[in-house]
Structure 1
C-alpha cells in the first residue's frame, strides 16, 4: 500500500494539461477489470488533450501490478496504452507498444493491429492490404454465441459484426489524413468523428 501511495504521488506530480483528471492510488489499486473496462479506471482519464495522462496511468498500473497480471492482461493494457499514446500524438511510442503485443494477438486481431500501425505510419497501401486480410478471415464457430452473449450483456451498444474492427479500419481509410483520435471515431459513410 505504501508503494502504491508513493507511485501515485509521483504520478500526480507529473505535469499535465490543465483540467486533466489525475490517477490516484485507489485507481492504481483497482482490480484489472475495473481499471481497464469501467469509468473508475483509466477511461475516466481519456478526455481530449489528456490522453498522455491516461497512457501514463496504464503504464504505472502495469508496473505496480506486474506480479498479478497474466500475459494476455498485459497485452490488453499495452494495446490501450498504445491507443492513448496515438491519440496524444506520441506516434513512435504508440507503434512500439502496438507491435510489442502483436504476436500475442489472435489471428483475428493481427490484421487490425497491422491496419492501425499502417495508419499511424501513413502507409495507405499497407492499410488497404491489412483490410483485405481482415476481410479474408473466416467467421469462427464460436462467434454467433459470443455475439449473442454480447448483445444480452450490452443491449445499448451496437451488435458485434464479423470481422471485428472493420468499422475502425474503414474509418482509418476514410479519414486517412486526420489525427488518430478523429480517424478512430470516423464514420466511413459520413467521414466525421
Structure 2
C-alpha cells in the first residue's frame, strides 16, 4: 500500500480508505502516517495537506480530538501558497477544527465563508467547495454528535458527486 502513488493511495478504495470503510480508523491513521513519512519530499504541499486532513478525520473518528486537531493544523496551507483551485481549503479546515472544538459560531462562520466562495467559483473548484460545504453543514446539523456520526450519511446533507481530474502521475 505504501508504494501506491498519491491518487491510488488517497483518492481510491485501494489505499487507506479500505481500512476506513471497514471501520478500522486507527489502522487507517497508522497507514496514512507511514505513507506521509515514506513519501517525504515526493509529496506536493497540497497532497501532504490532504493526507494530514484525512489523518485528522481518522483520528477524530476514533474520538481522539486532540490528535485530530494537531493533524488539522498540519493540513492548513499558507494563503500565499494556495492556488485558486484550493482557495477555500483553509476555510474548510477551520470549519472542521471548529466542530472538533465544539465552537458553533466559528463553524457557522466557515459555512458562510464557503458559501460566499462557492458563489464566485465555477467548474471543479466550485464542485469541491460545494462538497466541503455539504460536509460542514452536516457537522453543523449534528453538532452534538461524535465526528464519525456527524460526518456520516446519517447527518450529511446531499453531497454532490465530484469527479476530479487525475492527479499527477496517474492515467486518465
* Same fold, judged at TM 0.5 (above): yes
Match of 2:102 among 103, 106, 122: 122
Shift of 1:101: 2.1
Shift of 1:107: 2.9
Residue 115 of structure 2 aligns with which residue? 135
Using structure 2 for the length normalisation, give the TM-score.
Answer: 0.77
Using structure 1 for the length normalisation, give the TM-score.
Answer: 0.69
Give runs of aligned pairs for residues 40-189 of structure 1, distance below 5 A: 40-47=14-21, 49-104=23-78, 106-137=86-117, 138-140=119-121, 143-144=122-123, 146=124, 160=127, 163-185=130-152, 186-188=155-157
Shift of 1:188: 4.3
| Counterparts of 1:73 and 1:82, CA distance in 2 | 14
1:153-174 alpha-carbon deviations (Å, 9 max, x no partner): xxxxxx9375441111111111
Higher gyration radius (CA): 1
Residue 29 of structure 1 aligns with which residue? 3
State how many pairs are aligned. Answer: 149
Check whether the contact 1:78–1:98 (CA below 8 A) recurs between aligned residues.
yes
Shift of 1:184: 1.1
Check whether the contact 2:29–2:58 (CA below 8 A) recurs between aligned residues.
yes
Q: Could you say which structure has the greater relative contact order, defined with CA pairs below 8 angstroms and 6 or more residues apart?
A: 2
1:10-35 alpha-carbon deviations (Å, 9 max, x no partner): xxxxxxxxxxxxxxxxx111122111
Unaligned runs of 5+ in 2: 159-172
Residue 16 of structure 1 aligns with which residue? none
Shift of 1:127: 1.0
For residue 127 of structure 2, give the secondary structure of its aligned residue in structure 1. coil
